[in-house]
Amino acid sequence: MCTSHREASPSGEIACKICTMAYRRSPFAVGEFFHCYTRGVDKRITFQDNHDYERFLQALYVCNDTSSFDRDSVSDFFHHSILKLDRGVQIVSVVAYCLMPNHYHLVLRENVEGGIVRFMQKVGTMYTMYFNGKNDRIGGLFVGPFRSKHIDSDSYLRKVISYTHLNPAEIFEPGWKDGKVQDLTTLELQLRSYRFSSLQDYYGIIRPERSIIDMNVVRELNDHIPPLHNVILDAAEYYGGLRW
């Protein structure tokens, strides 16, 4: 049994499964960008309601630190208050994200050695403990090890960000990956209104969740992010290359 996370989980079972995420065929490197993604075990729903989504967003914020964090210590805080808490050194830059009912996508830059693996472990542990406690279950919640793809160029980075933000199109237009979009204008409005991705932050909407992402990176990229209507159909080809 893993001993490094035994205290984080009463049974030790969650933490040990999450520790398997540390195995990577392509090592991460400081200053490099990666697309990281995973889904619920057995394709199960991992975000059941808005509160679940918010708890994961809070984990993205408070776990991005070199120190540990006890979420229960701020159990009485409102969502927006947690996203304003002071942090130390940020181990990754969260460049973009999107949460879906049974999976999530993150675009991360490693800021310190081992930062991405550590960040994913902390986020996974914190949210899994919350979810298991809420639903009276035990065991791992997300498939591990998480998947990652190295982003090796600026143009590829911009595409991955755009495609990450397009994930909710599955909810609004189930056939969009096959080029079947009934109303492109409506779909764009629906994507911009989706709370659980960073798309709104790229379009200048001021909201508490903006603190999750590295706005310095966003400002550098924002002039080069193509309009949504230019990438919706192109994204299908990219997602065809992702395999769980």
Give the whole-number percent of the chain exceeding pLDDT 70.
82
pLDDT digits (tens, 9 = 90+) for 88-98: 999 999 999 99
Alpha-carbon torsion 58, 59, 62, 68, what sign? positive
Query: For residue 51, what is the enclosing H or E element?
Result: helix 50-62
β-strands 92-100, 103-110 pairing: antiparallel
Please state the pTM of the whole predicted model: 0.84
For the chain, what are the domain ranges?
Answer: 11-151, 154-239
| pLDDT, averaged across the chain | 84
Query: Alpha-carbon distance 126 to 59, whole Å?
Result: 7
**pLDDT score of 228:** 73
Over residues 175-230, the pLDDT tens digits come to 777 767 788 888 889 998 999 999 999 888 899 999 999 999 888 887 766 777 77
Residue 13 has pLDDT above 70, yes or no: no
The CATH number of the domain covering residues in 11-151: 3.30.70.1290
Measured CA to CA in angstroms, residue 13 lies from 4, 16, 24, 90, 145 at distances of 12, 5, 21, 28, 15
Mean pLDDT, to the nearest integer, of 41-52? 96
Nearest to 209 by CA among 219, 217, 218, 197: 197
pLDDT at 22: 39
Q: At 115, which helix (H) or strand (E)?
A: helix 115-135
pLDDT in tens, 102-113: 999 999 999 999
